[in-house]
Structure 1
Amino acid sequence: MKFIGYQSLITIVCYLFFIFMSFWCIQDLHLERHLKMHEMQGKLLIVILSIVSGYLLSSFVLSLMDSLRDLIYIFKS
């Protein structure tokens, strides 16, 4: 049961880390200038894109970690 708690904690930390990293990278693009939108709309778009890209990237990393962890069973049998 403790394993599920640790896995949940790792998942939440991974999501937050990759969302923060995506926000940090996308923030310097200044999309509101390039798309001719209001400043608030541009900031909201940056937040939404950060959440989407961070979630997708962290889902990929977590899935890869699960696959690598399950790969051990090939060599055990």
Structure 2
Amino acid sequence: MLRIEKVPIANIYVPTARRKTLHPETVRLLAEDILQNGMKTPIQVRKDTNRYVLVEGLHRLEAAKWLGETTIDSYLVQARRH
């Protein structure tokens, strides 16, 4: 079973290919929802040498940044490199 960990947002690397799929309006709407209801689903990251690499949850990550959060709930997963 996956365990939720608080991960520093500053230590999360977003691969370039993933950044291209970002929709600012979705981030804004998601940030508003998080303010009202909290983060419902943690993002997924994999551990790299001295950082985390985003696997899933770009819009949730960006919404947390937009809200000024410094950490985010994350599942640490085993994933192959992109």
TM-score when scaled to structure 2? 0.22
Per residue, is there more helix in 1 or in 2? 1
Per residue, is there more strand in 1 or in 2? 2
TM-score when scaled to structure 1? 0.23
Query: Greater relative contact order: 1 or 2 (C-alpha under 8 angstroms, separation 6 or more)?
Result: 2
